[in-house]
Structures are given as structure tokens and as C-alpha cells.
Amino acid sequence: MIRTVGLVAKYHEPKAAQMVRWLIPWLKKRGKKVCVENGLVHRGARSCSKKEMAAEADLIISLGGDGTLLNIAPLVIRPEVPILGVNLGGLGFITEVAVGELEAVLSKTLDGDYEVEPRMTLQVRVISKQGRTRKFRILNDAVIAKGARSRIIDLETHVGDDYLCTYRADGLIISTPTGSTAYSLAAAGPILEPTLGAIVLSPICPHTLTNRPIVVPSNAVIRVTLRSFGDTVFFSPDGQQGIRLHNGDQVEARDYGMPVSLIKLPSRSYYEILREKLKWGER
């Protein structure tokens, strides 16, 4: 049963603030407790951090675009907690509910009449040459990329125990099926149906033109070791602020083993979303 609803929204977006002001009394009238992320304080709702919200809410509503949802989704470690993504006007592939549909969709959701789509997440570890480890949970992609003034970098890549190649490129994108329509798509990666169990490796501007994106099974462990001296290289999880990598540092990615549950509209298929967002069939 849904007792507590969490609201996250795109900061400084007037439409998001307007939606929050409408949603709080609407939810309270239906007997729901409401928590909003810090910075969106409104009367009738409790302010909390994203981490607290992920731990306490029975339903999370994300108001904004894909980036807003990506900020909260990796923190939700209970697959039974659904996330409702509301698109406020961007390209978003993950946030499929339009503003005009929200009241009807939310009414059904609170009554328990909804479908969820499990989306694979990745566990990514950044291991320094000295052995220090930082861990991340990823819904879209993990990106290794050179700085603006750096040369092409060398990325020694293994899939499991098998050596794949050493990419000489501007970087490498390690993507989930959900993230296949994000940065990976811009790097000529394939589009994967989002419920597939797979991982995509897409090189960014590879020096060797025969280096193409490759899809590997979800049970594979990807290990990428930076083999470049003196270059500025960053690792960026789900488009968040990057961390600096140095020669010999390793990025390891594998299935996290726990999906994120996104509420989907039964009236709209993934292929309809692709046609709409990518404007397929238009002349």
C-alpha cells in the first residue's frame, strides 16, 4: 500500500514548482504523507534528502526530465518501490508520462492499478592504482572520457577474463539497455529494448574505425584500465560530476543484481515512444 509519496523535481523549473504546489494538497487530500527533497519546501510536506526519501517513500514521483529521475533512481534499493517519471517537456525516454496525463495515471497508481517495468542497473567500481575503491550504482551509463585538451587515450578492456581490445579513442561508454538511447546512441551505439539483460560498450570517436559498439551479456564483468600518462581523463556516472582518473586506474562494471521499477503506461509501448522521440517515419 502506498502511504508515503516522495517528490523530486528539476530545480529552478517554474513548471516543476507549479506541479509540486498542486500535488502536495492533492496527495494530502487522499490521505498520503508527502516528502519533498531539500530545496523544495512547501507547507504540508516534510523536507528530506534524496537518500531519506529513497528509504522511506512507497512511491516516488520525478518531475522534470531523464536527468531528474537519474538523480534519485540509483538510491532506491527496494525494487517494490515504483518511480513515476513525469516529463516536463524535454526529450526524455525514461520519463514517459506527460503533464496532462499525470492526474489520471496517479489516481490509478494510488489505487494499486499500475504496471512496472524493471530496469537493469550496473554496479560500477572505480579502483585506483593504489587500491582505493569508489562504488556507484548506474541506471543509464558510466562514461570514461578525456578532457577537452587531452590527446586520444588508451583504454585496455576485458570482458570477464577475456581481453577484448585496447581502445584508442576519446573515451568509452558502458551502458545499460535503458541508457542505450542516451550518450551511447549519440556515439552510434545500438538501441536495446530496455528490459533486456545486456551491457553495451560504445567507444567515443575511436581512432580505429573498425572499433564498433558491442553488446555483451548482463552476467559479464567489464574491466577497463586507463593506459595513458599525463592526460586529463574523467569517469562520469549517469551524467553526474566526474572524478579524475590516472594511469593504471580501473573501472569495473557488472549487473547490480537489483533493478529499478519504473511505472509504465499500458496504453503506450516502447516502440511508440521511439517513433515519437526519434521522429521515425517523418519526412
The residues annotated as belonging to the active site are 66
Determine contact, residues 53/234, Cβ cutoff 8 Å.
Answer: no
Residue 25 phi, psi (nearest 5): -65, -35
Coil vs helix vs strand at 87: strand
Amino acid at the residue 7: L
C-beta of residue 42 within 8 angstroms of C-beta of residue 36:
yes
The secondary structure of residue 259, as a DSSP letter, is -
CA-based nearest residue to 7, from 91, 46, 127: 46
For CA atoms 81, 74, 119, 28, the dihedral sign is: positive
Nearest to 262 by CA among 97, 141, 146: 97
Q: What are phi and psi of 259, to 5 degrees?
A: -80, 170
Contact 230, 199 (CB under 8 A): no
Cβ contact 76:50 at 8 Å: no
Amino acid letter for position 262: L
Give the whole-angstrom CA distance, residue 53 versus residue 37: 7
Rounded-to-integer distance, Cα 34 and Cα 234, Å = 37
